[in-house]
Structure 1
């Protein structure tokens, strides 16, 4: 009797565990199907960036943490761009466009800088209110990490090294 019970329970438990694992792996949040308009007027659809790791950074020129992390974002972009990494820095709707343009020019930001003029991009990403807030999106378009506050660049570089292995 005990042997029969083991023959029934073990496969059942195994099936439940594998089912849970499959659900966890398959239920990653999809990045929203948004289009960014950069300060230079270029339109970038997030869908076009599939196949690359993407960091979408919501920020404001009036946010000290945002301003502080920009040089590190620039350095990370320069180090990983050729391997398949993109950054889109999205200025919040309350940030005056002329301030954003001045900041991007003055700091020679090497990545795309977009304006969220009507707040629709922040809403699409779960109604972002806090800056900086960053979303790291994998090559398949899944959000693999959401960071409220400044990015941990050691963690980001480790993730990029892992995900971009063999690229470029």
Structure 2
């Protein structure tokens, strides 16, 4: 059993351990918990945006980032766009970015969509878009699988959560937690 009457420095370590739920197993468990393995490598996404600008996901470190793989012929994806745009506007001024990667077979499909966006969506609700078929596009997310495929990255660029298919509302709660 741990004693809170220990030396003052040890007492603060023990109280911290108790608060973290680590001390009930005694010092060996606390010692194990203090050593952590390195986390996963930061995600990678590099290429050109639809408007021809160089893009490197690494430049967004320090921000919470959502990377969305989608297609203009995916009804669920199109249905999700108003919610995504509203959240982009809502998180404006905060360290948050949404980056989309179109998986359309033909670049013309996403270009047509982007022209409509430019005409109908306020600038405050637009986000960076890349096309998966762009020569030189590289990413570490693997095949997106079921669309939409959403990957949430922490401020260190590491994937902390992913969703395939309908994106749950809780994903936005997670963004708030990471900010």
Q: Same fold (TM over 0.5)?
A: yes
Is 1:160 aligned with 2:175? yes
Q: Greater Rg, structure 1 or structure 2?
A: 2
Is this contact kept in 2: 1:51–1:140, CA < 8 A?
Answer: yes
For residues 2-151 of structure 1, what are the structure 2 equivalents within 5 Å?
Answer: 10-16=26-32, 18=33, 22-23=36-37, 26-27=38-39, 29-92=40-103, 94-107=104-117, 108=121, 110-117=126-133, 124-151=140-167
Asked if the contact 2:153–2:160 (Cα under 8 Å) also holds between the matched residues in 1, the reply is yes
User: What is the RMSD of the two structures over their aligned residues, measured on CA atoms?
Assistant: 2.4
Offset, 1:122: 7.9
Q: Which stretches of structure 1, 4 residues or longer, exceed 6 Å deviation after superposition?
A: none
Structure 1 spans left out of the alignment, 5+ residues: 1-8
TM-score for the superposition, normalised by structure 1: 0.77
Larger proportion of helix: 1
CA distance in 2, matches of 1:119, 1:135: 22
Match of 1:55, SS state, is strand
Shift of 1:63: 0.7
User: Offset at 1:121?
Assistant: 5.8
CA distance in structure 2 between the partners assigned to 1:157 and 1:33 by the alignment: 22
SS of the counterpart of 1:73? helix
TM-score of the two chains, using structure 2 as the length reference: 0.73
Q: Distance in 1 between matches of 2:95 and 2:151?
A: 16
Q: How many residues are paired up?
A: 149
1:36–1:70 distance in 2 versus 1, CA, 3 Å: farther
